[in-house]
Amino acid sequence: MKNVLVVGGGIGGITAALEIASCGVDVTMLEEGPSIGGRMIQLDKTFPTLDCSTCTLSPKMVEVALQKKINLLSWAKPVAIRKNGKGFTVTILKKSRYVDINKCNACGSCSPGCPVVMKSEFNMGTGPRKAIYIPFPQAIPNKASIDKRTDRPCKAACVDACPIHTNVLGYLKHISEGRFEDAYMLIRETNPFPSSCGRVCYAPCEGVCNRGQLDSPLAIRDLKRSAVDRFDLDTLEPPQVQKTERKVAIIGAGPAGLSCAHDLAMEGHDVTVFETLPEPGGMLRYAIPEYRLPKAELDKEIGYIRRMGVKIECGIEIGKNMDAATLKNDYEAIFVGTGAPQGIRLGVEGEDLSGIMDGLKFLRTVNKGESLERESLSSHSEREGVAQPALLVEGATRAPLIGNKVAVIGGGNTAVDCARTAKRLGSEEVTLIYRRTRQEMPAADEEVEALIHEGVKIEFLATPVRFNGSNGKVSTAECIRMELGEPDASGRRRPIEIKGSEFSVPVDTVITALGQATETDFLNPLGVKLRKNGTVEVDPFTCTTSVEGIFAGGDVTTGPAYVVDAIAAGKKAACFIIKFLKGEALVAESIDAKPEKLSEDEVKALSIWVAKADRIPMPEEEINQRVTNFREVALGYSAGEAMTEARRCLAGQIEGCIQCGECERRCEVRAVDYNMKDEIIDLDVDSIVLAPGFDLYDPTEKREYGYGTLEGVITGIEFERICSVTGPTGGDILLKGETPKRFFFIQCVGSRDRLSGARYCSRVCCMYTAKHASIVKDRIRDAEIYISYIDVRAYGKNYEEFYKSTQENGILYMRGIPGEVVQGKNGLLVRVEDMLSGEMREVEVDLVILATGVRPRKGTEELCNIMSIERDEYGFIKANSVAPSKTNVDGIFVCGMGSGPKDVPDTVASGGEAASRCMEYINQ
Amino acid sequence: MLEQMSTRVLACMQCGKCTGSCPESGKTPFNIRMLVRKKQFAAAIAEELPWYCTSCGACTLRCPRDVKPSEVIIELRSALVEDGLMPLALQKALENTAVQKNPWGKSRGKRGVWADKLDIEIPHVSDTESKRLLFTCCIQAYDPRCMVIPSNVARILNKGGLEFGILGEEEGCCGNEIRRIGEAGLNEELQEENKAIMEEYGVKEIIALSPHCMNAFKKEYGDLGIKVTHYTEIVADMIREGTLTVQAPFEKKVIYHDPCFLGKQNGIFEAPREILRAIDGLTLMEFARSRETSLCCEGGGGRMFFEVETTYERNAEVRVNEAVEKGAEVIATACPFCVMTLEDPATEKGITVKELSEILVEVI
């Protein structure tokens, strides 16, 4: 069986391939890019008939796809060749597409999620494309490709460390390029509480960030906040989903319950959340102080969940004003996410004295604003685009809540929150008493830092042993010094009392923040199995409890943990509740990957090309300003700061795909494979047809025309894309969003030009410019159009007529090539001598279109070197003068622009000629 | 006759790119394409026309057929010079240059006077170790407005710790303008004399103060084996390397005018801007026509030495008007001819023209 190799998938190559295949010969067609179609598919119309180029070409492209004799290899090119008898053995490099061509069904769901925005080659850079893309709707093969150029330089440990696997590198990429809204939407894909997490997340991602091994980790949480600050959630419409009428009850409106509700509502389920406290939000609302998380922000996030159709009923306590059994009967599934709302007692003498209170209760009281007034305050900062907290506990007296000398017992975040809150309420002396040292404090480092800055005193290695009082009111806390012994179960060194080291601290208020416990008695009637410590026993992979249909997650199953853990648990439970309602088996699918570190060698290699840059500190409210009120301390990055900080992300250092996994997550047929490898294949062929096509001259070096420096100076092929329905504007001719009215076309840019090394005429520019002018005239009736020329080359049938009719249409042809284009007051000034009148003119226009000349396609030289093909002085393939498809090598033929400028009809003809010469050769 | 042509007039395809590029097109009777066309046919050319050319070089730089229209002009002028058909002032300038080695006919003996008045001692180049020559240029050696420039630059280079010397009265006109006026013979004489003296003293490097001199030494003296730079390049290096530090601010809006011989003809666009950007408080502004499309001040090609007959809005006026409209307070440039042409309309409009060194001495 004969086999012919066609290199190049433009109109020339397509014609040759189809002609050869129609003779019953097998054809292997190589296309260097993602799709065949070549330059012609980029054209809006073809001259002189003004037929739609896509309409003419795409049937032929489809024919290639359907023709069984043609084997099309995209992303493929020859890299070596050996003579093999009369034929050749060709070594072909098949670049990896990173998408399984047999699975991809061109559904297009991948691209919108991709955070890597690149210039579309198809649109000549006039519009964007994503790193995963299908170049245009009519592409053949119609399959996505990933523009992956290098492996990601980091391990994306952030994503693995995050309990909800937030696409950190994806949203950082968006932010680094100023796309805050896209970043926000990407965060929302996995997180219904971006604003809360952007403020109070403990950010396990930052701890493992691989950049931290070079200089300092990315400020991932603060960057999340920067995206939140620039998006108003109130303007986001919830997606329309098909309702299922399946009822699910959720107990507890904390982050776990609400996240579960959010994901269930996304599936269309009918969700009701029951909450004991007067407002939803759980610890987010009642434990975290206003200065860390303004409640207005939380209200927006919960508001969105409500707008999704989730019913939230507050003031309902299961077992008290609602029966647990009824709940079980009325709902198909139940999620328990009641958290760990109980404080733990210290268990020392005098703990019941007045003035001693539980930390959680204290925070709840302050957050509820009970016995405190809330006043709104106008924005106190001018930082751009940053929403400022409007709530302030102003003028509120700390009495009767707390006194002047406050001791806070504990070392966790709650203890720190209590101490900072007490300071804000005006207590003069606030002391934190912690039994270990700073190193062992479970509270976040930056929180402890802030605490110290705000003037709270810390007594490390001390614990109260007794509280003394007078008149039933606490007056001193008697403490004892501690030292650290052997590590205990938590891995921290156990504090041991030092005998005889007692000392006393005068106090009028004591706030204890020693830990939290669950309240799960209400589950007893349902028979849900509890652990000894009161937490609910669950399968950690599926969130199922001992009772079918009842799921649980968050602090109620784990004891006190972090917000994002609760969100993760709620989401996981939702996922399995959805399966449960469908009647599917509840088995965990995958085990989460562990965050990886960079090896020392990798760090060394990276530090060579990644410039050191430390993270940008989050701007904060002045210390003396902040301790008097509850305004948010962290002020948020400016857009510039956020972009600069986000640009530090190691994943963002590379061109192309950053392997963030978003497309993989979205692809329903699992076609994405980042680890696909390039292939090298050997192929025996009897003959070869080269159709490498052409490029267009880059006029940047002609500085006098201002291409690349003046807005409104573009090339003909760019103009073609702007005119095209498949182009970036959908076919509207627009400049900065407005319709330009005055056009100036300059001919012979980079043709007939010694300076740019092309003394030849490019043959197509006169006609394509006439075509462009006609398109403009057709779409913008009142357009003023000039074409400057040296002499118009419109040969043969229909061409001269087309040129003349263009002129008659009112397009002004001006003999004389402009010397320069400069910025004028109301547009671009084209300085040109109208030679036929001998007058020098300065024409003011909106758009200048350079009719750039034809150049051999990039890669033609390499191709010719491999195949020992001779080229002419310009680099085009040297063709035989009487058999114009013959090259200097027997059996290798050329067609189309590869051997020099040709228009579409000539290229088609040359494709046919090459096919017939090729047939002649293989049948000899 | 055709063989003798250094230019390639027959290659011209009459595309008009030269006229579209020419700073004299439209506003004066000068049409460079037409002159090339007439030259193709050896047709008669009105004798006043060739003298309009400012030798800015735009036509030659952009000609797609490498016709070198500005060289065609020099050929036309040569023929006129031979026949004595030239403006009187130009004739005078040539005579002066032949005698005193400067077009103004100032005494050659006084060429180094500017250095005598300086607070620093500048050695003769032969007494330097580096054999680095600061080439003054005629206009800056004699003209009262421009004499400050060599003094300034000498101070600046001195402050930056650079060793250099001068030729004093032994320096002669570089010939750049003389060649463009069409006096090839005199140009050759000047070149020979300068070459001989530089050879005698073993000059290894020339720092030119005027872009016109720099152009001649770089491109028209043949291979001298001498490194030729414009002083702005040296100063920009000094600032970048930290040997020269800007100490005082210059709180002005400064618009920079690219001289043709520094910018479009020799590609030095960045060095002067780098210097200006290094100055605190200085706001650097740009003309709409800058860099490669900078509008010629009409001081070159002999136009410095005579006035054309027609009246029209001079390019210097166009420049000054734009600077004023944009709210600039100072027009900065790096060429003595530009300073001279811009200053008249600038004074009228109440805006200052400063050669770069004049700003620099204020801030270092």
- List the CATH number of the domain containing B8: 1.10.1060.10
Q: Which of B170, B202, B236 lies at the terminal end of a domain, its last residue?
A: B236
Q: In this structure, what DSSP letter does residue B220 have? A: I
On average, the pLDDT of chain A sits at: 92
Nearest CA in chain A to B32: A833
Name the residue with tokens 């003349």.
A804
Q: Quote the number of domains for chain B.
A: 3
Whether residue A400 has a cis bond before it, omega within 30° of 0 = yes
Q: How far is B163 from chain A (nearest CA, A)?
A: 37
Nearest CA in chain B to A756: B64
In a domain, B68, yes or no: yes
In a domain, B123, yes or no: yes
**Cβ pair A755:B19 closer than 8 A:** no
pLDDT, tens digit, for every residue of A509-528?
Answer: 999 999 899 999 899 989 99
Q: What distance in Å separates the CA atoms of residue A523 and residue A505, rounded to the nearest whole number?
A: 42
pLDDT band for position A1 (cuts 50, 70, 90): confident
**Cβ pair A840:B25 closer than 8 A:** yes
Exposure of B41 by Cβ count < 10 A (0-12 exposed, 13-18 middle, 19+ buried)? exposed
In a domain, B90, yes or no: no
Q: Which of B40, B57, B82 lies at the terminal end of a domain, its last residue?
A: B82
In a domain, B92, yes or no: no
Q: Where is average pLDDT lowest: A194-198, A343-347, A634-638, A731-735? A: A343-347
B106 and B208 share a domain?
yes
Q: What distance in Å separates the CA atoms of residue A55 and residue A138, rounded to the nearest whole number?
A: 10
Average pLDDT over residues A643-662: 96
What is the predicted pLDDT for the residue at B2?
A: 41
User: What does the block give as tokens for A621?
Assistant: 């409210």
Q: What distance in Å separates the CA atoms of residue B78 and residue A549, rounded to the nearest whole number?
A: 104
Q: In this structure, what DSSP letter does residue A597 have? A: P
What is the predicted pLDDT for the residue at B332?
A: 98
What is the predicted pLDDT for the residue at A160?
A: 95
User: What does the block give as tokens for A810?
Assistant: 């009112």
Q: Which of B52, B82, B112 lies at the terminal end of a domain, its last residue?
A: B82
B321 and B359 share a domain?
yes
Q: B69-82 and B32-40 helices cross at what angle (nearest 10)?
A: 70
Q: Which of B13, B21, B33 sits opposite A704 (nearest CB)?
A: B21
In a domain, B266, yes or no: yes
Q: How many CB pairs under 8 A join A and B?
A: 87
Half-sphere exposure of B199 (CA within 13 A, CB side): 9
- Comparing A804 with A428, the larger pLDDT belongs to A804
Q: In this structure, what DSSP letter does residue B216 have? A: I
Which of A790, A817, A837, A842 would best serve as a mutation to test chain B binding (most B beta carbons within 10 A)? A817
Sign of CA dihedral A878, A883, A885, A887: negative
A37: phi then psi, degrees, rounded to nearest 5: 125, -25
Residue A857 has pLDDT above 50, yes or no: yes
- Comparing B286 with A397, the larger pLDDT belongs to B286
Sign of CA dihedral A492, A493, A497, A498: negative
Nearest CA in chain B to A789: B15
What is the predicted pLDDT for the residue at A377?
A: 29
> Which stretches of A383-482 are DSSP H helices?
413-424, 445-453
Amino acid symbol at A923: N
Residue A400 has pLDDT above 70, yes or no: no
Q: Which of B19, B27, B31 sits opposite A819 (nearest CB)?
A: B19
Amino acid symbol at A459: E
B25 interface with A at CB cutoff 8 Å: yes
pLDDT, tens digit, for every residue of A120-178?
Answer: 999 999 999 999 999 999 999 999 999 999 999 999 999 999 999 999 999 999 999 99
Secondary element (H or E) of residue A550: strand A550-552
Q: Which of A754, A824, A832 sits opposite B64 (nearest CB)?
A: A754
Which of A751, A820, A836, A839 would best serve as a mutation to test chain B binding (most B beta carbons within 10 A)? A820
Q: How far is B290 from chain A (nearest CA, A)?
A: 9
User: What does the block give as tokens for A73?
Assistant: 């290899």
**Cβ pair A838:B31 closer than 8 A:** yes
B13 interface with A at CB cutoff 8 Å: yes
B231 and B105 share a domain?
yes
pLDDT band for position A380 (cuts 50, 70, 90): very low
**Cβ pair A833:B14 closer than 8 A:** no
A559: phi then psi, degrees, rounded to nearest 5: 80, 175
In a domain, B120, yes or no: yes
> Which stretches of B202-311 are DSSP H helices?
211-215, 231-241, 270-277
| Spatial CB neighbours of A55, under 8 Å, sequence gap ≥ 6 | none
Q: What distance in Å separates the CA atoms of residue A489 and residue A493, rounded to the nearest whole number?
A: 9
Q: What distance in Å separates the CA atoms of residue B353 and residue B337, rounded to the nearest whole number?
A: 12
Q: Is residue A908 classed as helix, strand or coil in its secondary structure? A: helix
Q: Is residue A508 classed as helix, strand or coil in its secondary structure? A: coil
Q: What distance in Å separates the CA atoms of residue B104 and residue A556, rounded to the nearest whole number?
A: 98
Residue A378 has pLDDT above 70, yes or no: no
B124 and B202 share a domain?
yes
Residues in chain B closer than 8 A to A833 (CB atoms): 16, 19-20, 25, 31, 33
B269 and B183 share a domain?
no
Residues in chain A closer than 8 A to B15 (CB atoms): 748, 790, 816-817
B308 and B202 share a domain?
no
| Spatial CB neighbours of A574, under 8 Å, sequence gap ≥ 6 | A259, A260, A261, A262, A263, A264, A267, A335
Distances (CA, A) of A575 to A338, A551, A665: 19, 11, 15
**Cβ pair A831:B33 closer than 8 A:** no
Q: How far is B117 from chain A (nearest CA, A)?
A: 44
Query: Which residues pair with residue A912 across a beta bridge?
Result: none
Q: Where is average pLDDT lowest: A35-44, A315-324, A679-688? A: A315-324
B26 interface with A at CB cutoff 8 Å: yes
- The C-alpha angle with vertex A827 and arms to A824 and A831, in degrees rounded to 5, equals 55
Residue A99 has pLDDT above 60, yes or no: yes
What is the predicted pLDDT for the residue at B1?
A: 37
Name the residue with tokens 């061509």.
A101
B300 and B341 share a domain?
yes
**Cβ pair B16:A833 closer than 8 A:** yes
Helix (H) and strand (E) counts for chain B? 16, 7
Residues in chain A closer than 8 A to B16 (CB atoms): 790, 815-817, 819, 832-833, 835
Residue A329 has pLDDT above 80, yes or no: yes
Residue from B34, B4, B55 nearest B220 by CA: B55
Q: What distance in Å separates the CA atoms of residue B163 and residue B129, rounded to the nearest whole number?
A: 8
B134 and B227 share a domain?
yes
What distance, in Å, lies between the first and last C-alpha atoms of chain A?
Answer: 14
What is the predicted pLDDT for the residue at A370?
A: 54
What is the predicted pLDDT for the residue at A912?
A: 97
**Cβ pair A704:B15 closer than 8 A:** no
Half-sphere exposure of B337 (CA within 13 A, CB side): 27
Q: Which of B17, B64, B292 sits opposite A703 (nearest CB)?
A: B292
Secondary element (H or E) of residue A656: none
Average pLDDT over residues A292-315: 95
User: What does the block give as tokens for A454?
Assistant: 């705000």
- Residue A403: count other Cβ atoms within 10 Å of its Cβ: 20
Nearest CA in chain B to A831: B20
Q: What distance in Å separates the CA atoms of residue A913 and residue A882, rounded to the nearest whole number?
A: 12
What is the predicted pLDDT for the residue at A471?
A: 87
What is the predicted pLDDT for the residue at A486?
A: 87
Q: What distance in Å separates the CA atoms of residue A910 and residue A897, rounded to the nearest whole number?
A: 9
**Cβ pair B62:A831 closer than 8 A:** no
Distances (CA, A) of A298 to A196, A279, A280: 7, 11, 9
B6 and B114 share a domain?
no
A178: phi then psi, degrees, rounded to nearest 5: 80, 10
Query: Which residues pair with residue A474 across a beta bridge?
Result: A469
Q: What distance in Å separates the CA atoms of residue A242 and residue A312, rounded to the nearest whole number?
A: 20
What is the predicted pLDDT for the residue at A807?
A: 96
What is the predicted pLDDT for the residue at B3?
A: 43
Q: How far is B28 from chain A (nearest CA, A)?
A: 10
- The C-alpha angle with vertex B363 and arms to B359 and B364, in degrees rounded to 5, equals 115
In a domain, B241, yes or no: no
User: What does the block give as tokens for A630?
Assistant: 């509850």
Q: What distance in Å separates the CA atoms of residue A879 and residue B327, rounded to the nearest whole number?
A: 60
Q: What distance in Å separates the CA atoms of residue B248 and residue B118, rounded to the nearest whole number?
A: 22
**Cβ pair A703:B15 closer than 8 A:** no
**Cβ pair B16:A842 closer than 8 A:** no
| Spatial CB neighbours of A284, under 8 Å, sequence gap ≥ 6 | A193, A196, A200, A254, A255, A293, A298, A563
B266 and B340 share a domain?
yes
**Cβ pair B34:A748 closer than 8 A:** no
B134 and B164 share a domain?
yes
Interface ipTM above 0.90: yes
What is the predicted pLDDT for the residue at A675?
A: 94
Q: What distance in Å separates the CA atoms of residue A8 and residue A11, rounded to the nearest whole number?
A: 9
What is the predicted pLDDT for the residue at B4?
A: 46
Q: Which of B16, B25, B293 sits opposite A817 (nearest CB)?
A: B16
In this structure, chain B runs to a length of 364
What is the predicted pLDDT for the residue at A81?
A: 97
Residue from A778, A803, A783, A808 nearest A792 by CA: A803
Q: Residue B277 belongs to a domain with what CATH number?
A: 3.40.50.10700
What is the predicted pLDDT for the residue at A395?
A: 45
Residues 278-317 of B with CB under 8 A from A: 288-289, 291-293
Q: What distance in Å separates the CA atoms of residue A175 and residue A184, rounded to the nearest whole number?
A: 9
Distance, CA of A380 to chain centre: 32
pTM for the structure as a whole? 0.87
| Spatial CB neighbours of A282, under 8 Å, sequence gap ≥ 6 | A252, A253, A254, A255, A256, A257, A258, A275, A339, A566
What is the predicted pLDDT for the residue at A347?
A: 87
Residue A393 has pLDDT above 70, yes or no: no
B121 and B205 share a domain?
yes
Residues in chain B closer than 8 A to A820 (CB atoms): 20-21, 58, 62, 293
In a domain, B128, yes or no: yes
| Spatial CB neighbours of B237, under 8 Å, sequence gap ≥ 6 | none
A663: phi then psi, degrees, rounded to nearest 5: -70, -35
**Cβ pair A754:B66 closer than 8 A:** yes
Range of the domain at B19: 2-82
Q: A11-22 and A53-66 helices cross at what angle (nearest 10)?
A: 40
Average pLDDT over residues A547-572: 95
- Residue A376: count other Cβ atoms within 10 Å of its Cβ: 10
Query: For chain A, what percent of residues have pLDDT higher than 70?
Result: 96
Residue from A275, A279, A94 nearest A677 by CA: A94
pLDDT, tens digit, for every residue of B121-153?
Answer: 999 999 999 999 999 999 999 999 999 999 999
pLDDT band for position A372 (cuts 50, 70, 90): very low
User: What does the block give as tokens for B26?
Assistant: 């439209």
| Spatial CB neighbours of A29, under 8 Å, sequence gap ≥ 6 | A5, A6, A9, A13, A17, A36, A64, A70, A71, A72, A73
**Cβ pair A818:B63 closer than 8 A:** no
Which of B8, B17, B295 would best serve as a mutation to test chain A binding (most A beta carbons within 10 A)? B17
pLDDT band for position B6 (cuts 50, 70, 90): low
B70 interface with A at CB cutoff 8 Å: no
